[in-house]
């Protein structure tokens, strides 16, 4: 479009806007005149309605533009309660070695009073290369073929102001199949006083999440754009702006560096042939050194309380996971035990219907045992209610249960050889297994007995004829019938 034409359009647009403004002003004045001509009571009513609308509009506007609330800090348990929980887990036979080792490392580093800085980031962002630049004498442990870091390594280095520090090189995150290594990397990051987060371009959603995760633990962070040599000046400035926007409120500073790394190129020899040569790029890490000195100015001692909080918060999460896992395993054992008893009860029924009495007692026992395991206090009435509700569900679902049991009898020939009453016994195994699993899952998720939720889960489980579960139940039925006393 030519310049003149553009000017003409601009002039037309301004004229249209002015016309609109005049029209609006005229309309407003006319309305104001009519408003003033109204009788006083009507003026008040209308005025009040208009004021309410304006207030509501402003409230909506404020809600939309209000500053985002800060994320809630993670819960940090005190050391003593954490140790108690770990002891309890150990008593229950859980493998608490890693948790105890973490506590040991926490103390050791506190006593050592050395400054720890961990490098962190996705694979191939240049973490190991940066370690080489910061600790030139270090021999790095990495996979010989891929050059990729597989284990956490510590390397001594010195800041330009002469302060010593320990650098941690960690495996890169987001490597396909590298979940265990990624977990180790995260734990190492929590153990450090500060973290250098490396990236090699603008951040993906996953990287932003990773940064937020670190910030949630209160980790002092630097966001470092590596491989700056790959960008032009203008591109680099743009990229840094974007990174600053992406990490606002999370990273203390954003800097661009070149960690170095090796580069391969072809060299032509005098005889006309070529050979492949590798040479080290020259590192340019000045901005990082300055930012790191500022970030760690408080020293190991000054940063220690924050570091300990982060480690304890991480331990709190890990202990919670192990607790849930251990409880789930215990719940499984309880359910199995009661399913076994139900099988025996079904076979021991002497008079018509007497099995129902036996199973009623068992259902109550199962409910009580699981509630106790999940620390949910239940009254006798609540337990009775739950068992009654489960009975109703079972009555309506009995045809499904019997169909599943009938199929199992055909699918697992061993069952058929055990003679009469097996169908009945297997049906009870399925019922108790479903009831126990439903209740355990509901209690674990809700920390209370939610009848509707547990009942919905029970219905799903009764109809679930998943082959592994049925095989386990068939084996349980056979084992129990052959040896009713063993638990």
Ligand X SMILES: Nc1nc2c(ncn2[C@@H]2O[C@H](COP(=O)(O)OP(=O)(O)OP(=O)(O)O)[C@@H](O)[C@H]2O)c(=O)[nH]1
Binding residues vs Mg ion (CB under 5 A): 127-128, 149
From the list ligand X, Mg ion, none, partner contacted by residue 147 (C-beta under 5 to 8 A by kind): ligand X
Note whether 149 binds ligand X by CB under 6 A: yes
Element housing 432 (H / E): helix 422-446
DSSP codes joined into one string, 75-101: P---HHHHHHHHHHHHHTT---HHHHH
Q: Cβ 182 to Mg ion, closest distance in Å?
A: 13
Which one of residues 227, 307, 336, 457 is an interface residue with ligand X (CB under 6 A)?
227
From candidates 222, 225, 259, 312, binder to ligand X by CB under 6 A: 259
Q: Select from Mg ion, ligand X, none the partner in contact with residue 229, using the beta carbon and a kind-dependent cut-off of 5 to 8 Å.
A: ligand X
Phi, psi angle pair for 45, to nearest 5°:
-60, -50
Environment class of 310 (CB within 10 Å of its CB; exposed 0-12, middle 13-18, buried 19+): buried
CB 246 → ligand X: shortest distance, Å? 19
Is residue 261 within the footprint of ligand X (CB under 6 A)? yes
467 phi/psi in degrees, rounded to 5? -70, -35
Q: Is 123 in the site for ligand X (CB under 6 A)?
A: yes
For position 96 contacting ligand X by CB under 6 A, the verdict is no
Residue 275 CB-density burial (10 A; 0-12 exposed, 13-18 middle, 19+ buried): exposed
Residue number, 126 or 314, with CB nearest to ligand X:
126
Kindly state the smallest distance separating residue 143's Cβ from ligand X, in Å: 8
- Minimum CB distance to ligand X smaller for 140 or for 369: 140
For residue 172, the minimal CB distance to ligand X (Å) is: 2
**Smallest distance, Mg ion to C-beta of residue 223, A:** 18
Rounded Cα distance between 111 and 109, Å, is 5
Q: 449: how many CB neighbours lie within 10 A of its CB?
A: 22
Using CB atoms within 10 A of its CB, is residue 132 exposed (0-12), middle (13-18) or buried (19+)? Answer: buried
Angle of helix 299-348 versus helix 97-112 axis, rounded to 10: 170
User: Residue 262, interface with ligand X (CB under 6 A)?
Assistant: yes
Q: Provide the minimum distance between the beta carbon of 207 and Mg ion in the complex, in angstroms, as a whole number.
A: 16
C-alpha to C-alpha distance for 405 and 425, rounded to whole angstroms: 9
Residue from 230, 252, 398, 407 touching ligand X (CB under 6 A): that is 230
Nearer to ligand X, 171 or 345 (CB): 171
Task: Report if residue 184 touches ligand X, rule: CB under 6 A.
Answer: no
Q: Residue 299 binds what, of Mg ion, ligand X, none (CB under 5 to 8 Å, by partner type)?
A: none
Binding residues for ligand X, total number by CB under 6 A: 22
- Minimum separation from the CB atom of position 251 to ligand X (A): 18
Residue 110 interaction partner, one of ligand X, Mg ion, none, beta carbon < 5-8 Å per kind: none
299 is a site residue for ligand X (CB under 6 A): no
Minimum distance from CB of 171 to ligand X (Å)? 6
85 or 227, CB closer to ligand X? 227
CA torsion sign, 440 to 446 to 450 to 456? negative
Q: Which of 303, 135, 152, 287 is closest to 222 using CA atoms?
A: 287
Q: Are strands 153-158 and 164-169 parallel, antiparallel or unpaired?
A: antiparallel
Q: Is 174 in the site for ligand X (CB under 6 A)?
A: no
Burial degree of 301 (CB within 10 A; 0-12, 13-18, 19+): exposed
| Residue 181 binds ligand X (CB under 6 A) | no
Cα–Cα distance for residue pair 231/328, rounded to 1 Å: 52
Return all residues near 130 (Cβ < 8 A) that are at least 6 apart.
119, 196, 198, 224, 226, 257, 259, 260, 283, 285, 288
By residue count, the chain amounts to 487
- CB atoms inside a 10 Å sphere around CB 483: 9
Considering CB distances under 5 to 8 angstroms, the limit depending on partner class, which of Mg ion, ligand X, none binds residue 157? none
Nearest distance from C-beta of residue 6 to ligand X, angstroms: 43
163 Cβ contact list (under 8 Å, min separation 6): 115, 293, 296, 299
Q: Which of 77, 82, 88, 148 binds ligand X (CB under 6 A)?
A: 148
Output 285 or 331, the one with its CB closest to ligand X: 285
Helices (H) and strands (E) in the chain, counts: 17, 8
SS3 at position 274: strand
Residue 187 contact partner, candidates ligand X, Mg ion, none, CB within 5 to 8 A by sort of partner: none
Q: Tell me the window of 121-129, 268-276, 302-310, 318-326 that interacts with ligand X (CB under 6 A).
A: 121-129
- Least CB distance to ligand X at residue 291 (A): 16
Q: Smallest distance from the beta carbon of 414 to Mg ion, in angstroms? A: 54
Looking at the Cβ atoms of 172 and 314, the one nearer to ligand X is: 172
**Tokens linked to 226:** 């590596």
Using the contact rule CB under 6 A, the part of the chain among 48-56, 120-128, 321-329, 332-340 near ligand X is 120-128
Residues that bind ligand X (CB under 6 A): 123-129, 147-149, 171-172, 226-227, 229-230, 258-262, 281
């Amino acid at each position: 479009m030519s310049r003149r034409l553009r000017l003409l359009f601009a002039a037309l647009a301004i004229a249209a806007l002015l016309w609109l403004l005049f029209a609006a002003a005229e309309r407003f004045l006319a309305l104001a005149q009519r408003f003033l001509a109204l009788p006083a009571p009507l003026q008040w009513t209308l005025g009040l309605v208009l004021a309410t609308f304006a207030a509501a509009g402003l409230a909506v506007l404020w809600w939309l533009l209000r500053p985002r609330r800060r994320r809630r800090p993670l819960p940090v348990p005190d050391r003593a309660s954490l140790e108690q929980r770990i002891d309890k887990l150990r008593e229950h036979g859980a493998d608490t070695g890693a948790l105890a080792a973490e506590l040991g490392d926490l103390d050791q580093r506190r006593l050592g009073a050395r400054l720890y800085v961990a490098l962190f980031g996705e694979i191939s962002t240049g973490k190991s290369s940066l370690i080489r630049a910061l600790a030139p004498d270090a021999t790095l442990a990495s996979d010989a073929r891929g050059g990729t870091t597989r284990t956490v390594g510590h390397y001594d280095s010195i800041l330009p102001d002469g302060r010593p520090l320990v650098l941690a090189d960690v495996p890169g995150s987001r490597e396909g199949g590298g979940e265990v290594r990624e977990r180790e990397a995260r734990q190492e990051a929590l153990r450090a006083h500060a973290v250098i987060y490396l990236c090699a371009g603008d951040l993906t959603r996953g990287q932003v999440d990773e940064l937020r995760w670190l910030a949630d633990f209160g980790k002092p962070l630097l966001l470092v754009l590596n491989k700056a040599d790959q960008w032009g000046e203008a591109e680099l400035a743009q990229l840094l702006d974007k990174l600053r926007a992406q990490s606002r409120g999370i990273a203390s500073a954003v800097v661009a560096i070149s960690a170095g790394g090796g580069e391969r190129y072809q060299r032509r020899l005098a005889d006309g042939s070529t050979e492949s040569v590798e040479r080290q790029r020259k590192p340019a890490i000045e901005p990082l050194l300055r930012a790191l000195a500022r970030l760690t100015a408080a020293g190991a001692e000054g940063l220690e309380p924050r570091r300990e909080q982060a480690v304890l918060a991480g331990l709190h999460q890990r202990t919670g996971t192990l607790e849930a896992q251990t409880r789930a395993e215990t719940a499984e054992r309880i359910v199995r035990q009661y399913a076994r008893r139900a099988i025996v009860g079904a076979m021991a029924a002497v008079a018509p219907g007497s099995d129902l009495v036996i199973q009623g007692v068992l259902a109550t026992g199962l409910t009580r045992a699981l509630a106790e395991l999940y620390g949910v206090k239940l009254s006798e009435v609540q337990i009775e209610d739950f068992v009654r509700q489960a009975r109703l569900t079972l009555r309506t679902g009995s045809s499904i249960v019997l169909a599943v049991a009938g199929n199992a009898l055909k699918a697992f020939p061993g069952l058929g050889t055990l003679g009469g009453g097996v169908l009945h016994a297997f049906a009870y195994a399925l019922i108790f297994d479903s009831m126990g699993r439903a209740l355990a899952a509901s209690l674990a998720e809700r920390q209370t007995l939610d009848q509707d939720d547990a009942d919905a889960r029970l219905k799903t489980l009764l109809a679930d004829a998943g082959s592994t579960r049925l095989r386990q139940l068939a084996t349980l039925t056979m084992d129990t019938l052959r040896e009713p006393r063993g638990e």
